[in-house]
Amino acid sequence: MGDKNNQSKVLPNNVNRICGGTEMQGDITTQHDIRIDGKYEGIVQCAGKLVIGETGVFKGTIQCKQLDIWGHLSGTVNVAEVASFKAGAVFEGELHAAKLMMDLGVTFNGTCVMKKD
């Protein structure tokens, strides 16, 4: 049926989405990008980019390639490449990332460990 190598690639336009007004709990593992605009509690393992939108609230554990945060995030986060915090974002927890970008107006309460490339 499907080519095993093709299934492991992150494809553009394949975005999992949790819309505003949606509340979810559980574990997600995906090779694709994820955008959270609702409330999510649990574990996310994402081979692509995880975006927490302005109305997004996340509580739990994240492992991803890239991270963009506009909303609220509390928990333990491991980012292989770049963690980007946008103005208005609120973070509480522990961050491990190779690179960090932070706009003015971010609330960051926690620890940050920069990983070597």
Residue 2 lies in a domain: no
Q: What is the mean pLDDT of the chain?
A: 91
Contact 29, 13 (CB under 8 A): no
Domain range for 107: 15-112
Which residue bears the tokens 């299934």? 7
Cα–Cα dist 77/88, whole Å: 18
Model pLDDT for residues 38-72, shown as the tens digit of each residue: 999 999 999 999 999 999 999 999 999 999 999 99
- Among left, alpha and beta (phi > 0; psi -120 to 50; other), residue 42 is left
Contact 48, 34 (CB under 8 A): yes
- 3 state DSSP class of 6: helix
Residue 61 lies in a domain: yes
Query: Any residues with CB less than 8 A from the CB of 18 and at least 6 apart, and which?
Result: 24, 34, 35, 36, 37, 38, 40, 56
Residue 6 lies in a domain: no
| Residue 1: pLDDT band with limits 50, 70, 90 | very low
This prediction has a pTM of 0.86
Residue 9 lies in a domain: no
